[in-house]
A and B are shown apart, each in its own frame.
Chain A
Amino acid sequence: MKAPDSRLRGNDATMLLPDLVKLTSSSFLSYRMRSFLTGLGIAIGITAVILLTSIGEGLHQFMLAEFSQFGTNIIGIQPGKTQTQGGNVGIFGSVRPLTLEDADILRRLPYVEHVIPSLMGNAEVKANGRTRRTMVLGEGRDFGNAFTMKARSGGFWTDEDNEQARAQAVIGAKIQQELFAGMNPLGQYLRVGGQRYRVVGVMESKGQILGMDMDDAVFIPAARAMELFNRPGLMEIHVSYRADVDANTVIRILTERLKAQHGREDFTIISQEKALEVLSSVLNILTFAVGALGGISLLVGAVGILTIMTMAVTERTAEIGLLRALGAQQRQVLVLFLGEAMLLSALGGLAGLALGVGIAQGLHLLFPALPVHTPWLFAVAAELTAVSIGLAAGVTPALRAARLDPVEALHAE
């Protein structure tokens, strides 16, 4: 008998990958409409997940960036205890205001680096015969040290934050342009709400933070601002703490000390970390909802693939018999059908990725205020999920195909 032609023997009698792709895609291409509809289920699922994640992640990064523009490791203390969403109890007069004295006490606590008493309001600012209505921030002298806002020239006053603070002001970049165009404002005077202040510093341009134009502002000592706005206390005390200390530790120390001072907890402590925690818990709920939504879509997609592959095995029974007669092993038939299921879901997944990112970017173009961001790791994970779904859905039909009796299969119509 003739020996088998050795030239025609493959390395390991297994199919080469390009051939596998060629064969599986041939069946994919010959049922275009059907393949399209089957992949659509997966595509919609992936689109939903990618789109909503992009928006969620974009929001998260946006908020993070907004917060950290102020600086990190900062805790805010406001008067009045906020138990729930209800209003401030201040109107009943039972709340002790936060004072400069409170700020001084806090300054002596461990881990605390800077304490900035602050309040804000609007006032008319005049200089060189020009008038501008602007935001006036009453702050402590360490403002520039605690926050990531620096003076471009000059600097903050160095007097203690107490009642005797001198009338000194630091002006925002825009105020300099508007009131001191073309001249050096340092040492000059400007009137804030009728009182004369000497300009000791000019801030570098910062732009908007959380909707406030920080350049269109005048900074004056907190004590003078309380006088100017006729307020009994501060609106907030900012405390910056050492970066190597946990926020909760600092919050605990602050709370204890201030409670001792006031006799009860009539203030609210807000930390960036806590705020971010709230934000991420909201985002987690969003993520969960998206996950559920996408999961249902993907499940429907998986059922679609299962259905179509089951049909394919039935329709192509004779072909499976033929493949076996031509020397295909059961394993090869299995791989061919699994490959087809995975191809369907992989292409559906890619379409979903493209669609999701496309819609997200389109929304961003339409509404530039809406931040979007697609983490690429997430995109890869989504595509892998799609392929795994194809694999899982294809297993049963592919096993059925592989286990067909070749003689019976060949004679199937």
Chain B
Amino acid sequence: MNHSISLTVNGARRDFVLDDPRVTLLDLLRERLHLTGTKKGCDRGQCGACTIHVDGKRINSCLALAISHDGADILTIEGIARGDQLHPVQAAFIAHDGFQCGFCTPGQIMSAIGMMQEAQAGSDPERIRECMSGNLCRCGAYAGIVDAVLEAQAGADESNQRRSA
């Protein structure tokens, strides 16, 4: 049975006919829309490499059926930079070497941006570590990841202050 669904992916509305209700958001993005920035590390919600934002919240796209998210607003790593202008979190990941092999990186970055929007961790390294623990990194780039988040958070705080001043 075919199912018609529509999603907004990185700002663009996409309508599809889904021939199989088993397709996850992750596999939809990777294998059908060819948005391969989002990675599959475990496919079971145990590594975080597939983290995307759905309706503004970070989730594991491997454990989300596409069909159930009909109408959702999807943001992936491909939708974060503005052309050549990197998102501050992306730039901070490079500056602080928040990755080695890079495979978990799209998920880490989507998770970090989501975490900053959740505003639960602030600039407390311990809270950042806890709030980023849903993203495994086998290379062990955690120190750089935390430093990158701290820098991005500081930048965000500063621009918020400027805005309110």
The answer on A and B forming one complex is no
The residues of B with any CB-CB pair to A shorter than 8 Å are none
The residues of A with any CB-CB pair to B shorter than 8 Å are none
